[in-house]
Structures are given as structure tokens and as C-alpha cells.
Amino acid sequence: MQRKNKIGLVLSSPPGYSETFFRNKIRGLQEHGYEVVLFVENLDQIPDDLNCSIYAASNFNGGIVLKVMTFFGVLIRSFIFHPMRTMKLYQLDKADGVSITKRLKHIVLNAFILKHHVDWLHFGFGMLAVNRENVAQAMQAKMAVSFRGFDLYLSPLKHPNCYVNLFQKDVYYHVLSEEMKDDLTHYGIRDERIFVITPAIDVSFFKRPEALIKNSDHTLQIITVARLHWKKGLEYTLEALEILKKTGVTFHFTVVGTGSEYERLVFAAYQLDILEHITFIGKTSQKDIKTYLENSDIYLQYSIQEGFCNALLEAQSMGLLCISSDAEGLSENILHEETGWVVPKRQPKLLAQKIQEVQSLSDSQKATIRHKAVSRVQNQFNLERQVQAFLRLYQL
Amino acid sequence: MTIAVYSGEIPSTTFIERLISGLVEHGQQLILFGIRHGSNHYSNSVTVVGYRHNRFSKALHLLKFTLLLLLFKRDAKRRLDSFLKASDRYTLNDKVKCYPVLWHQPEIFHLQWAKGIADWAWVQEFGMRLVVSLRGAHINYSPVANTNLAEIYHQTFPKVDAFHAVSEAIAREAQKYGAAKDRIQVVYSGLDIPNSERLSKHASNSTVFRLLSVGRSHWKKGYVYALDACAILKENGFKFKYTIIGGSDSIELLYQVRDLDLEDYVDLLGQVPFDTVKAHMTDADLLLLPSVEEGIANVVLEAMSLGTLVLSTDCGGMTEVIVPGVNGFITPVRHVDQMADNILAISKLSESEKAVIRDVAHTTILKNHRTGLMVQNMLQIYKHATKE
């Protein structure tokens, strides 16, 4: 019988209850007989429902003396108990021109991973692989790196050239959309090394009987489920809603999610004189999100930057009429004028215009779009399909 | 009259420090309470009652004032403790902040940041007059987003002895939270402008139009709108260079510049010394203030004093400074098309038209925004507060 792969997943912390992507992936792999272990940088809380081993990086809290003792303790233990791998990592880093201080730091940083055996070392985010470019090779494991929108498009702005070393390595990449794949190839990554595996959702949960789908008679119910972060484009969304109000459309906008931009958005709504038409729900459960979606007509995802977007899949699966921006993966998430509508980003006038156009469609036209969206999401973005795609990657 | 100018930090922001030095020049005795950073650079008229931001310094500070109060103001301490307990503020940090104020008991306690008002309402119980400054975010949007803060304002504003508003607009906003109109006095920011200072502006030799914004990369500065306007300008074939001093640490702005393909048109710089800012201002063809919220932006006053044309949004109190087409230009907040149109129109002005506007702008600053005037008006507020 063929031995099943052991996957080491590197994350910043164990996936929380709402981080469905990693939870679904772990569960899916386990259901197919794979063993998954987690390597995390911070272990504040240990989830009791993941059913996998979790190993955390050394804790460097405390005063300088304690930090120094921890550093050398980890370093010496790594050389004594795992000499081959530790030396290998040291030599690989040296060959990359890494300074001796950084070589030693890398050993300490990665000692908690080095000592385990895995077939694949899969970094859940691109930035997690920075300063760990040679760890998988030192462990004689294959290396995979997942890039999400933030990693690929925003992190390099803050840390210029952060992926230069990574992109020289023998790595398989997972991205969320064809556009991201295309952008990654511009860094010189070979096509066959990049796997597009789109996000997936629990389509059995996010569905509603057709009989329950109805168009609001009076107040147009609009909804967005998103972190309150600038990249979600909510300020532009509010500007579009101001235009709607001025043109006499009666609407209510529900925003589900929390984030650092709450004050910015409330003030924008206040200044645009639409605050009374908006409810900021904050963070809530999947069950409540489903209820909010059930009570809405139009879903907006007018992001500035977006890898792919699960929330938009969930809204389509629930039969909402969905309008998104054309940010990165969104125009693959929605097929324009087939399963929803795609509007150029940063153009609130165009968004307002599109909302009115959608509102004025006949019921049968709306139903056609809804059917196509539901059908496409249910068939192409379900969890099993996603797991199968990861299995193909790990069988390489 | 002894006045406590309280911001919680010593030294404080540029404009608060300007107020402090102005009051000292007018012979006032001041007390500064709070956390000390750096060395003491104040004159003898200023008593600094501060502590360093470490446990040891705080502990010594607390011990000193606890003993003084126990020995010489036992009843007052008991009353303050009761107040702190009743308002659930009887913590070591609160005592470190409050005991020194109770010991010194200045006649005027001038709170610079309105958000902290719940911590200082007690000073009136001990005969101190509470003066509160109404500045930017503290009034314009924080209480809109934070209903608890709005409730605190509703409870405390009606009891405040006097308010200093940085603009008429913010004075109106504060009245929504119960601030009495007759207790608010508008005092505009003041700059130190030597009488001999002459406009240093010359006709531009640059082949591109040089736009400048100055300020930290906070959303309220509205740089995203300025960059959207830049995309329109670029599309129109307009040759320009836009510099944002203070914008280099924002991923949002960095991404937007790249996303809109503006790398050749926009420079995002980090913080630079004030002299460098002035040099940029002097070189710029137009200072752009794309903010969505401001009290009155000091950077606009600085630019006007240096003879640089200004295009500002109509946010906050900006229209109280700028008369469109007379001493500067105004564009509606969050309207990028009009912002771009206005920039184009300004770039087409003749040198003589620009010179007239620069002269009027400079006169505006000399007339309404000098430190001396600001200090005189502040002293009136203090006198008014102590008379009541």
C-alpha cells in the first residue's frame, strides 16, 4: 500500500474558527488519509478541533538575558540533535550569500520545523517563506508556497525585493486566480510550477431554496461581507451609494465585518449623508451571515485589491445578484453579465449606474443570472473540488 | 493667573508648543503636566510637573504627590479619590495623572484633546476652570463613530467653563454635543511670521507643474482622492509631478500609485525636517490639501505665508481661511473630477494673476493667523472663564 504524504503547513498562528480556508483544507486532506502537522509562529490558543499536531516557534519574550539564553539554547540543541539538517540549512544559506549572523538566526527561527519529518513543507503565505527559503531542502522535503492577494501585491511594496531569493528556489506555488498566476510568471516563475486553486466554500451550507428568493419591493437591500480594510474599497462603495441616494433610489446597505477602518467608513457615510441608510454589523457567525445574505438583494464586492474572495462566492451560492470590481481575481470569480457584473474599480459613478441597471432588470433576467451563478459556484467552487486540486499538487 | 496647558505629553505638538511659548511671552505662568520626553527647554515661567514613561519614574511621581496630598491636602485627596472610585478610575495610572494637578490646582486647566474630558471633569469641583480645545478628529468624526464618546460629550460639554474652537465649523459641530454657543470662542492658529519676511516666490522655470501635499499618511488627509485626481490629470496629458511629504509609509498609497501607473508622476517621501518642508513649499507651484477632515490645516497657513498657491478641499474650517479665487482655491471634498479640473485651471493662470493671489494670501495670514493674535484671543478666553 502506498504511503500517504505528510504535509507540514506553516502558518503564523493556528487557524481560528472563522478561517475556513485552512480549516477546510486540513479537514479535506485528513479525510483523504493525509497527515497534516502545523508549524506556527505564535501559539496563543490551541484549537481543540483540528485533530493535528501543532508545533510552535520558540518564544523570545522576556528580558535581553532570557532572549540570549533562549537563542543559544535553541541553536545548540539544533546542532546537537539535528546536525545534518542544521548544517545543510547553514550551508544552503551560505551559498545564497546570507551573512553568518543571519544564518544562525535562520537556524534558530526554523529549528522547530527542522526537527520534524514531512514530505511537503507548505507555507500558507508568501511572507512566511521569507528567511525560510532553504528549510524544505535542508529537510529533504518538497516546498510549496501559497500566495494570496495581500502577499503578492501588497507585501512587496512594504518589503521591496522580499521574494527575490524565494523565486530562485525549487518551489511549487499555489495562487488563487489565473491573474495571480500571470503576475507571478512576470517574476520568472515557470508556468508548470504554479497551481491555480481557487478558494472554495461549503456549498451545502450556503444555499437557499428558490422559493425563498424574492426581490424587495420597496427598499433595495444591499450587502457586503468584508473586513473593514482599505483594500475592500468600501469608501468607493459608499460614494456610489451617495449617488444612488441622490438619484432617488431607496436602499439599505448592510456591512458585515470588523476592522481598522471603521471610523473612516462611518465618517464617510456621515459626510456623504447616507449614515442612516447603513448598518455596520461587525463580526458575526457564519449562520448570521447566511441570514443577512438571505435578506439581501444585491451583493457588492467593490474591492481595490483582491486575490479571489470567498465572501463573493458565498453570496453567489445564495442566489444574490453580485456586482464586483475588476480587482485581480474578481473578474474570474464573477463572469461579467453571465453570473454577475464586473465594474472597473475606483469608479463609484459606474458602480452606482450598474446597481441601478441591475435593479431595473426584469425578474426573469435576474433569475437567469442567479441560476448561472448558483450553478457555477456549486459545481466549480465546492470544497471537494478544491481538495482534489491540492491532492494533485501533493502527488507531484 | 496660573494656567495648565494639558496635552498629556511634554513637549507636545508644534501648535500647542507655539501656544505655550506665546503665553510665556505675554507674561503668563504656566504648568505642564504629563509624560516627559527629552530635556526641559522651557523658560522659568513654565513649571514642568512630568514623569518619564517608565514604572520607576511613575512610582516616584505618585509617591511624591500622594505624600504631599496626605500631609497638606488630606480632605481634597479624599474627595478626589471618591470621585475617581465613583467613575471607576481609581487606578495607579489615573492617580499619577490626577494627584499632581490637585496638588498644584492651577486656576485654568486647559485640556487640549477633548476626548480626554471624562478624565478631567473633576477639576471644576476644586475651583479650577475647565477650558477645552475643540480640534479636528476629536469633534468632527470620533464621536460620530463612537457613540459612547458622543454620550460623554453630551454629559460633560454643557458644564465646561469655556471652549477654544479652531474654526467656526468645529464650533458648530461641538454645539451638537451640548457645548453652549456663548462659551465657545474661535481662535485661529497662529504662525510666527517676522514682519520683514517677504514673499520669495518667483516665476516657475519648471517644465512640469509641481504639486505638493504635506502631512502624515492618515486616511483623513484624503491622499487617495488626490491620487485619483492625478490619474485623471495623467489621462489628460497634463505634465506634472506630485510629491506627498509624509506618505511613504502607507501601503495603501504605494499600491494606488502602482495600480494607477503613476510611478513617474508621484513621489511619496517620508518625514523630513521643517526646513526641507519649507524648501519644498517654496518650490511647489501648488500646495494641495485633499483632506476629508481638518480643523484648519496649519500646512495651508504655512504655504500661504510662503507665497505658495493653495488648493484645499472645503472640509472643516478651510473655507474660513480661503476665499476661492481671492487668496487661494477651494474644491469640494471627495470629488476627484473637480479636483483635477481645478488643478488644470490653476496651472493655466498667468504669473500676474498668481502674484495677486499670493499677495492676498500672505496678507490673510499676517492679518488673521499670527501667534500674537492667537495668544491675545486665548488670554481673553481664560479671562472670560475665570470671571464666570
SS3 for A54-67 is EEECCCCCCCHHHH
Specify the pLDDT at position B338: 98
State how far the Cα of B67 lies from the Cα of B61, in Å rounded to an integer: 10
Selecting from A153, A271, A275 the residue whose C-beta is nearest the C-beta of B292 gives A271
Ordered by start, the domain boundaries in chain A are 6-56+117-200+383-394, 210-380
Same domain, B86 and B104: yes
pLDDT tops 90 at residue A21: no
Give pLDDT tens digits for B290-327: 999 999 999 999 999 999 999 999 999 999 999 999 99
pLDDT at position A119: 95
**What is the model's pLDDT at position A313?**
96
Q: Which residues of A lie closer than 8 Å to B, measured between beta carbons?
A: 153-154, 157-158, 230-231, 235, 239, 261-264, 266-268, 270-272, 275, 304-305, 346
Beta-carbon contacts below 8 Å between A and B: 51
Residue B200 — very low, low, confident or very high, per pLDDT cuts 50/70/90?
A: low
What residues of chain A lie within 8 A of the CB of B292, using their CB? 267-268, 271
- State the pLDDT at residue A311: 95
* pLDDT at position A246 over 50: yes
| Residue B199, pLDDT score | 57
Q: Between A157, A270, A275, which is nearest B251 by CB?
A: A157
**Rounded mean pLDDT of A152-166?**
93
Task: Give the H/E segment covering residue B163.
Answer: strand B162-165
Q: Are residues B183 and B251 in the same domain?
A: no
Q: Do B334 and A305 touch (CB under 8 A)?
A: no
Q: Which CATH superfamily is domain A210-380 in?
A: Glycogen Phosphorylase B; (3.40.50.2000)
Write down the pLDDT at residue B195. 57
- Whether B200 is covered by a domain: the verdict is no
* Residue B39's pLDDT band (cuts 50, 70, 90): confident
Let me know if residue B203 belongs to a domain.
no
Tell me which residue range forms the domain holding B236: 209-368
Question: Which of A4-18, A221-235, B18-32, B320-334 comes out lowest in average pLDDT?
Answer: A4-18
Q: Is 80 exceeded by the pLDDT of residue B201?
A: no
pLDDT of residue A2: 56
> How many whole angstroms from its chain centre is CA B58?
28
Kindly state whether B313 is in contact with chain A, defined as any CB-CB distance less than 8 angstroms. Answer: no
Q: Which CATH number fits domain A6-56+117-200+383-394: 3.40.50.300, 3.40.50.2000, 3.40.50.720, 3.90.1260.10?
A: 3.40.50.2000
One domain, residues B351 and B377: no
Residue B264 cell numbers, joined: 513617474
List the A341-343 sheet strands across, edge first.
Answer: A278-282, A251-256, A220-225, A298-301, A321-325, A341-343
What's chain A's average pLDDT? Answer: 92
Enter the pTM of the model: 0.90
Give the residue ranges of DSSP H helices in B223-335.
223-235, 251-259, 274-283, 298-305, 318-321
Report the domain count for chain B.
2
> Does the pLDDT value for residue A1 go beyond 50?
no
* Residues B164 and B228 grouped into a single domain: no
- Average pLDDT of the residues in A160-166: 94
Distance (Å, whole) CA B280 – CA B288: 13
At residue A60, the pLDDT reads 81
CATH of the domain at B51: 3.40.50.2000
pLDDT digits (tens, 9 = 90+) for A250-280: 999 999 999 999 999 999 999 999 999 999 9
Name the residue among B318, B320, B315, B346 with its Cα closest to residue B333: B315
Domain shared by B363 and B252, yes or no = yes
pLDDT for the residue numbered A211: 67
**B152 and B220 part of one domain:** no
What is d(CA B66, CA B224) in angstroms, rounded to the nearest whole number?
50
| CA distances, B291 to each of B71, B225, B316 (Å) | 52, 9, 9
Based on the fold, state whether residues B334 and B214 are members of the same structural domain: yes
User: How confident is the model over A17-26, as a mean pLDDT?
Assistant: 81
Q: Is the pLDDT of residue B128 over 60?
A: yes
Beta bridge partner(s), residue A225: A256
Q: What is the pLDDT of residue B164?
A: 96
Q: Are residues B173 and B213 in the same domain?
A: no
Provide the shortest C-alpha distance from residue A330 to chain B (in Å). Answer: 15
Residue in chain B lying closest to A262 (CA): B145
Q: Which of B74, B304, B293 is nearest to B189 (CA)?
A: B304
Per the CB < 8 A criterion, the answer to whether A290 and A205 are in contact is: yes
Residue B36 cell numbers, joined: 516627559
Closest CB to B228 among A231, A305, A346: A346
Whether B169 maps to a domain, the answer reads: yes
Same domain membership, residue B375 and residue B358: no
Average pLDDT over residues A59-82: 88
Nearest to A153 among B145, B224, B255 (CB): B255
- What are the pLDDT digits (tens) for B87-102? 999 999 999 999 999 9
Instruction: Supply the pLDDT for residue B110.
Output: 97
Are B255 and A157 inside 8 Å of each other by CB? yes
Among A49-63, A369-383, B18-32, B111-125, the least confident range = A49-63
**CA nearest neighbour of A310 among A200, A168, A173, A206:** A200
The helix (H) or strand (E) run that includes residue A347 is none
Please tell me whether residues B170 and B32 are part of one structural domain. Answer: yes
pLDDT of residue A278: 98
Give this complex's ipTM. 0.91
Do B96 and B178 lie in a common domain? yes
A123 close to A10: Cβ distance less than 8 angstroms? yes
Q: Residue A262: which of B145, B255, B258 has the nearest Cβ?
A: B145
Task: Give yes or no: residues B230 and B349 share one domain.
Answer: yes
pLDDT at A49 > cutoff 90: no
pLDDT of residue B193: 76
Q: Are B236 and B340 in contact (CB under 8 A)?
A: yes
Q: Is residue B123 part of a domain?
A: yes
Same fold, A6-56+117-200+383-394 and A210-380: yes
Does the structure show a pLDDT above 60 at B198? no
